[in-house]
């Protein structure tokens, strides 16, 4: 009798229990256990805090936020590059029962206005500026009322729920409050309330909203709980064998789950040091930080590791302290993984797969996995999670057969903020999160991502949904129709391309389109390639055939 084919289903059996407490309670536990150990090191700011010093800053900010009139459940936006204030805010909002809203530092006017209003932010903690982003300038554009308002009492027409603007760095502009000033606002009453909240907050309470681009245009606010991110961070750290002796170099952005959970939360749950090499990614600063601090782990998307390996000064750095880390965000070329292991001493490097909506990691390669497994798969299911691969009818497919990757368990988000319809589309009635990614599972449970159901473009680790860019470009008065899609690119993996049909009698140039996008949408969403067309390839039923457009552009550009 022939043995039946094994199905593409797996669950993460573990003797290690889930953590049944809030982030704030667990943070205090870490401070009590590892108070004298290095907690936070931020190179560009000269910050070197022990966990005890970090804990004191966190408590001061948490009390100050309560003193400002914020209450558990209120949303607090953070719009800043990587810095010490970001980490302090992450844990202070958790202790105060506030919901931290991560805003991409690359966002421009229309995007930040949408994000703040969609979730009803009551306070915004913002950097003054970073690179080409004048954050305070954009806040003043959206809320000119700030300049004449009493700090903490903003009443702005375009941002109706926003009351307080807290400014990191520099003297605060009129109407804003200095970040450092908030640290001194908390009274004994506020600190007593913090202690009361620690006993009352529940680990299933929402703690974090992360915006992820939507196929229907506007970004969705994935709402995550204490339980989601605390446990995912913990088990990620377990897979990488983190201890209080480890120092983890985190050049990936904190606004993203990669930095905030895989980075900060994995460190905190193990008493490991959080090391930030700079505000944004810089290969030289990252190499300098690893060498100077003797970091034991390094994170990044493949393009970051390539930039480090190819830096002209690479060979001058002693990276022998490194052993592990995480590479995620895009497929890893096998030759890059070989170089990382050989030249960067990352013999215990791991690969992860997940999405914001699942806190984020569902599968991960393990230390000791063969090189072939590390580069051709995204590992096996994480502890306490279930995964399955299904066909178009929702039936589990045999192992080795492609289908949609689904996951279920503690890591699945509560839902998209104030968007029941799209939540129901993503999470089915039995609790499975449908990722939209096509995957296979082999006989040993290792998964490989083989394609995407959704029309997603991944540019250098940034997820871009073409529909969102299309919706924005449709605002241009000279554009009649537009189709946006990804084309292969040697540097970023994919680049964005837009085919545009101008309105009759209207003229338009590439430069005009790019100028229209500037300062309105994030730089990585601005199409690199723009072509003007008279019509689009379509099916007989009127559906756009993007695959034909993509093939035509790839041929024109000489891209494989």
Q: What is the pLDDT of residues 377-395, one digit of tens each?
A: 999 999 999 999 999 899 9
pLDDT for the residue 340: 94
Average pLDDT of the chain to the nearest whole number: 93
Transcribe 344-399 into DSSP letters: S--TEEEEEEE-GGGSSEEEE--TT--HHHHHH---EEPTTEEEEEE-TTSPBPBT
pLDDT for the residue 458: 86
pLDDT for the residue 109: 95
pLDDT for the residue 374: 86
Q: Fold identical between 24-36+51-201 and 227-407+439-452? A: yes
Q: What would the pLDDT profile of 348-372 be if each residue is shown by its tens digit?
A: 999 999 999 999 999 999 999 998 8
Superfamily of domain 457-557: ANL, C-terminal domain (3.30.300.30)
Q: What would the pLDDT profile of 485-536 be if each residue is shown by its tens digit?
A: 999 998 999 999 999 999 889 999 999 999 999 999 999 999 999 999 998 8
Q: Which residues pair with 380 in a beta bridge?
A: 364
pLDDT for the residue 545: 81
CB 267 within 8 A of CB 238: no
What confidence tier does 128 reach under pLDDT thresholds 50, 70, 90? very high
Domain 24-36+51-201: CATH architecture, name and number where available: 3-Layer(aba) Sandwich (3.40)
Residue spans per domain, the chain: 24-36+51-201, 227-407+439-452, 457-557
Q: What would the pLDDT profile of 190-218 be if each residue is shown by its tens digit?
A: 999 999 999 999 999 999 999 986 444 57
pLDDT for the residue 452: 67
| Token pair for 156 | 């702005």
Transcribe 151-185 into DSSP letters: TT----SSSTT--EEEEESSSPPTT-EEHHHHTTT
CATH, range 227-407+439-452: 3.40.50.12780
Of 105, 119, 165, 118, give the one whose Cα is nearest residue 141.
165
Q: What would the pLDDT profile of 304-319 be if each residue is shown by its tens digit?
A: 998 899 899 999 999 9
Helix (H) or strand (E) holding 214: none
Tokens 């393009």 correspond to 303
């Amino acid at each position: 009798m022939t043995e039946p084919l094994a199905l593409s289903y797996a669950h993460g059996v573990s003797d290690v229990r889930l953590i049944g407490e809030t982030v704030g309670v667990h943070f205090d536990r870490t401070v009590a256990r590892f108070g004298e150990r290095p907690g936070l090191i931020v190179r560009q700011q000269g910050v070197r805090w022990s966990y005890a010093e970090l804990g004191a800053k966190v408590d001061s900010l948490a009390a100050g936020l309560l003193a400002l009139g914020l209450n558990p459940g209120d949303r607090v936006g953070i719009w800043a590059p990587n810095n010490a204030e970001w980490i302090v805010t992450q844990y202070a909002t958790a202790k105060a029962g506030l919901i931290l809203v991560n805003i991409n530092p690359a966002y421009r006017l229309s995007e930040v206005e949408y994000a703040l209003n969609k979730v009803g932010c009551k306070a915004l903690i913002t950097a003054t500026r970073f690179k080409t982003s004048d954050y305070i300038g954009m806040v003043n554009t959206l809320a000119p009322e700030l300049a004449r308002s009493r700090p903490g009492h903003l009443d702005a027409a375009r941002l109706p729920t926003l009351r307080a603007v807290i400014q990191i760095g520099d003297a605060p502009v009129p109407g804003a409050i200095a970040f450092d000033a908030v640290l001194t606002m908390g009274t004994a009453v506020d600190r007593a309330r913090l202690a009361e909240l620690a006993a009352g907050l529940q680990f299933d309470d929402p703690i974090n909203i992360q915006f992820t681009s939507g196929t229907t245009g506007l970004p969705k606010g994935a709402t995550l709980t204490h339980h989601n991110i605390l446990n995912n961070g913990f088990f990620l750290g377990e897979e990488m064998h983190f201890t209080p002796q480890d120092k983890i170099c985190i050049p990936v952005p904190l606004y993203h789950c990669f930095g905030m959970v895989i980075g900060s939360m994995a460190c905190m749950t193990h008493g490991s040091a959080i090391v930030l090499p700079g505000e944004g990614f810089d290969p030289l600063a990252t190499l300098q930080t690893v060498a100077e601090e003797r970091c034991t782990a390094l994170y990044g998307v493949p393009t970051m590791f390539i930039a480090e390996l190819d830096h002209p000064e690479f060979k001058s750095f002693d990276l022998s302290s490194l052993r592990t880390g995480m590479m995620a965000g895009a497929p890893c070329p096998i030759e890059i993984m070989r170089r990382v292991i050989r030249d960067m001493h990352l013999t215990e490097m791991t690969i992860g797969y997940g999405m914001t909506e699942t806190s984020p990691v569902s599968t991960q390669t393990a230390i000791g996995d063969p090189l072939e497994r590390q580069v051709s798969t995204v590992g096996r299911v994480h502890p306490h999670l279930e995964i399955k691969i299904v066909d178009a009818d929702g039936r589990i497919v045999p192992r080795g057969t492609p289908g949609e990757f689904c996951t279920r368990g503690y890591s699945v988000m509560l839902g998209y903020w104030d968007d029941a319809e799209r939540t129901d589309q993503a999470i089915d009635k039995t609790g499975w999160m449908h990722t939209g990614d096509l995957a296979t599972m082999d006989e040993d449970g290792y998964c490989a991502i083989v394609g995407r159901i959704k029309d997603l473009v991944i540019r250098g680790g940034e997820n871009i949904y073409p529909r969102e860019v299309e919706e924005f470009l449709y605002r241009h008065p000279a554009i009649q129709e537009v189709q946006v899609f990804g084309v292969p690119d040697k540097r970023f993996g994919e680049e964005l391309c837009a085919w545009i049909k101008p309105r009759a009698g209207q003229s338009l140039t590439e430069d005009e389109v790019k100028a229209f996008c500037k300062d309105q949408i994030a730089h990585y969403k601005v199409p690199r390639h723009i072509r003007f067309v008279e019509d689009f390839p379509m099916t007989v039923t009127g559906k756009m055939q993007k695959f034909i457009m993509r093939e035509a552009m790839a041929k024109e550009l000489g891209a494989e």
